[in-house]
Amino acid sequence: MNLTGKIVILTGVSKGIGRATAEALLAQGAVVAGWGRTAPEGLQHERFHFIACDVREEVAVQEAYVNTRRKVGEEIHVLINNAGVGIMGAVDGFAADDWRTMFDTNVHGTFYCCRAVLPQMKKQQLGHIINVASLAGTVGSETMAGYCATKFAVRGFSQALFKEVRHDGIKVTCVNPGSVETNFNGATPGAAPNPHKLQPEDVAATILHTLESPAGVLVSEVEVRPLQPRK
């Protein structure tokens, strides 16, 4: 897909992978409707539109979709479900509210957003949905049971959805990054990039590469790892 002039909805736009992806899309000529609870600081561009949205709330997603179409028009070419949260801890001491927060954001939010855009994409017979999951959705890890469960769910949802909508001309890709240097789980990125982790820009570049695949090609899943991780 040539991204010039294409309309992209991108969730979790305020920082990390979302912010980097918004900047990469804008550089390629896309129009970006960035959904998030807070606006990305300092991101000003004539083709960027911030739409306040908490993807955990079904009504909020519906309202954000209406507001997006008011700003950018009827057609929606790309949806990138990037909003996500990770809370770590042992299962026997894990707070039920934290468990629900992860599922509401990572799983239910992805469903709400996909359901919102699919009727228009089917009408167009064109669209690309990218769900950002994680390598934690491919193998379980201690103290990450809840997060792993949500990302396994996103992968399963993505695999089912691509089979459901591929004949409507809609692509669905699940992107599974490894360790990324972001504010995820309360971490603070260092002043200098950590050579043992992926950078948000690396994941953004992978997302764009997938979006720019030939029209007749469906990349259903991508795993992204740092080349030289810490031993």
Catalytic annotation, residues: 147
Ordered strands of the 170-177 beta sheet: 48-52, 31-36, 7-11, 78-81, 127-132, 170-177, 221-224
- 143: amino acid identity, one letter: T
Under a CB-based contact definition with an 8 Å cutoff, are residues 224 and 206 in contact? yes
Q: Tell me whether strands 221-224 and 7-11 are parallel, antiparallel or unpaired.
A: unpaired
Q: Tell me whether strands 31-36 and 7-11 are parallel, antiparallel or unpaired.
A: parallel
Taking the C-alpha atoms of residue 48 and residue 162, their distance in angstroms, rounded to an integer, is 28
Taking the C-alpha atoms of residue 36 and residue 165, their distance in angstroms, rounded to an integer, is 26
Under a CB-based contact definition with an 8 Å cutoff, are residues 115 and 67 in contact? no
CA angle at 209 for the pair 73 and 151, rounded to the nearest 5°: 85
